[in-house]
Amino acid sequence: MIWEREIDVEGKTYRVTISDEYEALCSAVAEGRAVIGLWDRNQKNQCLSMALYLVESMEDVNDCILDQAVRRAMGIPFEIALTRRLVIREFEQKDRLLLPAELQMTEAGSIVCGEDTLRDYIKYQYGFYEYGLWAIWDKDRKTILGVGGIFPMESDNEAVWQNHLNKNDTPLELGYHIFSPYRNRGYGTEACRSMLSYASRFTDQVYARVSDENYFSVRLLEKLGFHLIARTHNELAGAQCLYGWS
């Protein structure tokens, strides 16, 4: 069976194909359309691998999943959150031209400042997890004033924290970086609050790691409702604090 639905995204109308047939989905993808697979759990050997999103009935096909399918297929970034002054959204390739030199030597810069690394990040990180590192966009200035997001907690010293993490969940970590000219104006608080709200879709516990000497970040975390879980020390990073939010 084949169904067609239309959805307006960013002021343009797109047609989405929904089907339980491999050939129909392949044909739609070849024609440049977004697709959604209709999964039948009782049908053996059903192949819907070309569809990023699956539903079990047409009743599940709403505007939200149509919008998601179109954005992923067409490379249109998601808006994660809107605040009074900011738009938190996924990165797109042209954003590399708006990023300052101070970001290039950071861990975030190694992802978003390179053409190939950013392309892969958009395709695989966003496409698979639906979260990651995002652009913090200033509505008035029409520019990116920082980066931030939530991501799986990874570290060479992760074992240090294991006794303090929620064993029933994938540890997700909050991180942010406001560029130098825009600091001390409340942007970090505004952005992080909206990112934590979005993170609650995926987990009931978010972590943050910060240097014990980074007074401003510690104060921000406490303002956001984080609580201190543990302290540790390593030769490279020095004294580190683990904070948790729920």
Give the whole-angstrom CA distance, residue 21 versus residue 1: 7
Looking at 74, 103, 125, the residue that finishes a domain is 74
Q: What is the CATH number of the domain that holds 157?
A: 3.40.630.30
Residues 69 and 168 grouped into a single domain:
no
Asked whether residue 113 carries a pLDDT value surpassing 80, the answer given is: yes
Residues 55 and 160 grouped into a single domain:
no
The pLDDT assigned to 231 comes to 84
Tell me the pLDDT band of 164, cut-offs 50, 70 and 90: low
The pLDDT assigned to 204 comes to 86
Question: What is the per-residue pLDDT across 129-139, written as a single tens digit (0 to 9) for each?
Answer: 999 999 999 99
Residues 192 and 119 grouped into a single domain:
yes
Looking at 74, 109, 132, the residue that finishes a domain is 74
Residues 51 and 135 grouped into a single domain:
no
Give the residue-averaged pLDDT of 170-186. 93
Residues 86 and 70 grouped into a single domain:
no
Residues 64 and 131 grouped into a single domain:
no
Residues 49 and 106 grouped into a single domain:
no
Residues 83 and 176 grouped into a single domain:
yes
The pLDDT assigned to 115 comes to 92
The pLDDT assigned to 111 comes to 92
Give the tokens for residue 197.
């709200």
Where is average pLDDT lowest: 15-19, 113-117, 152-156?
A: 152-156
Question: What is the per-residue pLDDT across 81-101, written as a single tens digit (0 to 9) for each?
Answer: 999 999 999 999 999 988 999
Asked whether residue 159 carries a pLDDT value surpassing 60, the answer given is: no
The pLDDT assigned to 173 comes to 93
- Report the run of H or E that residue 27 belongs to, with start and end: helix 22-30
Residues 107 and 152 grouped into a single domain:
yes
Tell me the pLDDT band of 160, cut-offs 50, 70 and 90: low
**Total structural domains in the chain?**
2
CB 226 within 8 A of CB 243: yes
- Residue-wise burial string across 35-45, b where 16 or more C-beta atoms lie within 10 A, e elsewhere: bbbbeeeeeee
Tell me the pLDDT band of 74, cut-offs 50, 70 and 90: very high
For the chain, the C-alpha Rg in angstroms (whole number) is: 20
Asked whether residue 157 carries a pLDDT value surpassing 60, the answer given is: no
Looking at 74, 106, 131, the residue that finishes a domain is 74
Nearest to 8 by CA among 67, 86, 62, 73: 67
Residues 218 and 133 grouped into a single domain:
yes
Give the whole-angstrom CA distance, residue 26 versus residue 7: 20
Where is average pLDDT lowest: 121-130, 164-173, 190-199?
A: 164-173
The pLDDT assigned to 2 comes to 94
Residues 234 and 137 grouped into a single domain:
yes
Range of the domain at 139: 79-245
Question: What is the per-residue pLDDT across 186-234, written as a single tens digit (0 to 9) for each?
Answer: 999 999 999 999 999 888 889 998 988 889 999 999 999 999 998 876 6
Residues 85 and 54 grouped into a single domain:
no
What angle is formed at CA 105 by the lines to CA 104 and CA 109, rounded to 5 degrees? 45
Question: What is the per-residue pLDDT across 3-54, written as a single tens digit (0 to 9) for each?
Answer: 999 999 999 999 999 999 999 999 999 999 999 999 999 888 899 999 999 9
Please give the share of the chain, as a percent, with pLDDT higher than 90.
Answer: 72
pTM: 0.85
The pLDDT assigned to 232 comes to 77
